[in-house]
A = this chain, B = another copy of it.
Amino acid sequence: MADPTPGGESLLFLTDENLRKGIEAMFFAYRGFTADPDRILETMDYGRAHHRAVHFIHRSPGTTVGNLLTILGVTKQSLNRVLRTLFDDGLVEARVGKQDKRERHLHLTEKGRALERALSDAQRARMRAAYRAAGPNAVQGFRTVLEAMMDPEQRRQYQGLKEGSA
Chain A at the B interface: mostly helix, strand, loop or mixed? helix
A143, CB-defined interface residue at 8 Å:
yes
| Known A13-B139, A141-B137, A141-B139; contact A150-B32, beta-carbon cutoff 8 A | yes
**Assembly CA distance A40 to B47 (angstroms):** 27
Question: Knowing A22-B131, A59-B20, A151-B35 touch, does A146 contact B29 (C-beta < 8 A)?
Answer: yes
How many copies of the polypeptide does the oligomer hold?
2
Q: Is the CB of A128 within 8 A of B59?
A: no
Total number of A residues with any Cβ neighbor in B under 8 Å? 60
Interface residues of chain A, those whose CB is within 8 Å of chain B, are 9-10, 13-14, 16, 18-33, 35, 52, 55, 59, 73, 120, 123-124, 126-151, 154-155, 157-158, 161
